[in-house]
Amino acid sequence: MKRGNTILTIILLAVMAGCGGRGKQSADGVITVDVTKSYPHKELILQDFMDVEYIALETNDDFINQGMVLDIGKEIILVRNLISDGNIFVYNRNGKGLRKINRMGQGPEDYGNLVFCRITLDEENNEMFINNTFTKRISVYDLYGNFVRNFSRSEGANYSSLKNLDRLNLIGRESSSSVNENSTKSQPFAIISKQDGSLVNDIRIHFEQGINTMVTSSGGESMITVDLFANTNTVIPFRDSWIFAEFSSDTIYRLLSDFSLTPIMTRIPSVHSTNPEILFLPILLTDRYFFVETFKKEIEQVPGFFRKTKLIYDRQENSMYNYTVINDDYSTKKILDFSAFNSNSTIAFWQKLEAYELIESNKKGELKGKLKELAATLDEDDNPVIMLVKHKQ
């Protein structure tokens, strides 16, 4: 990691003032955000600050899937079906189907139901790591589906948001014990060996009190219980560093090259003084913008479960806004939602676009540019198109 880039990005994020939203900046440059405040609205064009690539996944008798992306690298895309049948489809970055892997089973060299697994791609070592959250075991295969090894922490630790750190190590949030109001007052983020799962470095975010991440709805005909961390991206790559997210903490941190943490943004009032708790998480960091979300820790009787407030800090204007992002490859104002995030520093996130929907949009004259050209080549039964949103080089 280059320390010069780290210092530069901290400086770029550090200023908080101006007409968009008032905030306070501490002497060490940490931005303070009032999560109870209403901010003016800002509309962003995605292509103004990110690069966009569209990949049509090849469709044939052996390659039919719902385009559920597992991970994407510089040369490889890993995809599965919505309901796991054990198939992992390996594509190249042009969308050409290379091979199909299936090692689902109960044996020591098999993986379980992929719906309950997270897969991390390691192109440099020609491997993929399948993290089974139920068995707390990580199984390693090469990119042809050959079994390589299994490992797990001797303490029985589990991991979420497991990402590819470097040639030798993975990085992730440890979830061996649930953080709640009666337990630990720190949350470990672990750097572990790719070879045997041994702990290389234990990095802890400290807080006043733990937040219980399990939420149960009240009222209605049926009760719904949701784990807030189930689909939360808690380890976010940006350029040559990492951003750590933790519900129980009021502060968002950045990991430096020496594995120390530096605060880059904090919220007021404290999460521990709001009822129900207003939670605060980073979503995406770019060269100009810092995207965050807030939401109350309560389930609403609407699709999506939580009503989120989307906030953005614009370092160029030194202001805070709520926002919408528009995909400029549509002639209509197509609002983009940040959905699936990648494990490397080049691709910020991806989104799947159904072939039949693109065809219909094209017939209505709603597409333009490269997306319009691509839609003209599709059949309605084709696999989805994968939209990659990448940091500008």
* Contact present, 383 and 89 (Cβ < 8 Å): no
Residue 150's φ and ψ, nearest 5 degrees, are -120, 155
In a domain, 342, yes or no: yes
User: What pLDDT sits at residue 297?
Assistant: 82
Rounded CA gap, 89 and 101, in Å? 6
In a domain, 101, yes or no: no
Digit-coded pLDDT (tens) for 316-331? 898 999 999 999 999 9
Q: Which pLDDT band holds residue 302 (cuts at 50, 70, 90)? A: low
* Contact present, 330 and 31 (Cβ < 8 Å): no
Percentage of residues in the chain having pLDDT higher than 90: 59
Strand ranges inside 207-364, DSSP E: 214-216, 225-227, 235-238, 241-244, 251-255, 261-268, 278-285, 289-296, 308-314, 319-327, 334-336, 340-341, 347-353
Nearest-5° angle of CA 113, CA 114, CA 115? 90
In a domain, 111, yes or no: no
Digit-coded pLDDT (tens) for 157-188? 778 778 999 999 999 988 754 444 445 688 88
Digit-coded pLDDT (tens) for 19-28? 445 445 454 6
Least confident piece of the model among 24-38, 133-147, 256-270, 313-327 = 24-38
Query: 306 or 214: which carries more pLDDT confidence?
Result: 214
* Contact present, 223 and 169 (Cβ < 8 Å): no
Digit-coded pLDDT (tens) for 202-236? 999 999 888 887 777 665 566 667 776 666 788 99
Rounded CA gap, 60 and 70, in Å? 20
User: What pLDDT sits at residue 177?
Assistant: 45
In a domain, 335, yes or no: yes
User: Does 136 have pLDDT greater than 70?
Assistant: yes
Q: Domain of 337?
A: 3-64+153-391
Rounded CA gap, 117 and 132, in Å? 5
Digit-coded pLDDT (tens) for 343-372? 678 899 999 999 999 999 999 999 999 999
Q: State both tokens at 302.
A: 């609407």
User: What pLDDT sits at residue 152?
Assistant: 84
In a domain, 146, yes or no: no
User: What pLDDT sits at residue 318?
Assistant: 87
Nearest-5° angle of CA 132, CA 136, CA 138? 60
DSSP state of 211: P
User: What pLDDT sits at residue 393?
Assistant: 82
In a domain, 295, yes or no: yes
Q: Which pLDDT band holds residue 151 (cuts at 50, 70, 90)? A: very high
* Contact present, 121 and 343 (Cβ < 8 Å): yes
> Which residue from 224, 227, 253, 159 is spatially nearest to 197, judged by alpha carbons?
159
Long-range contacts of 182-191 (CB under 8 A, 24+ apart): 182/210, 183/210, 184/210, 185/209, 185/210, 187/246, 187/248, 187/249, 189/235, 189/244, 189/255, 190/157, 190/159, 191/165, 191/259
Q: State both tokens at 338.
A: 């940040």
Tell me the residue length of the chain. Answer: 393
In a domain, 233, yes or no: yes
Give the chain's domain count: 1
User: What pLDDT sits at residue 298?
Assistant: 78
In a domain, 225, yes or no: yes
Q: Tokens 């953005």 belong to which residue?
A: 312
Nearest-5° angle of CA 327, CA 329, CA 333? 50
Mean pLDDT of 126-154: 91
Q: State both tokens at 176.
A: 């061996």
When mean pLDDT is compared over 123-132, 151-160, 297-306, the highest value belongs to 123-132
Q: State both tokens at 318.
A: 């030194």
Rounded CA gap, 146 and 292, in Å? 40
Rounded CA gap, 298 and 281, in Å? 16
User: Does 143 have pLDDT greater than 70?
Assistant: yes
User: Does 373 have pLDDT greater than 80?
Assistant: yes
Rounded CA gap, 381 and 231, in Å? 29
User: What pLDDT sits at residue 218?
Assistant: 61
User: What pLDDT sits at residue 156?
Assistant: 67
Least confident piece of the model among 82-86, 173-177, 244-248 = 173-177
Q: Mean pLDDT score of the chain, rounded to an integer? A: 85
What is the sign of the dihedral through the CA atoms of 286, 283, 343 and 350? negative
- Count the alpha carbons within 13 Å of 348 in the hemisphere toward its beta carbon: 23
User: Does 7 have pLDDT greater than 50?
Assistant: no
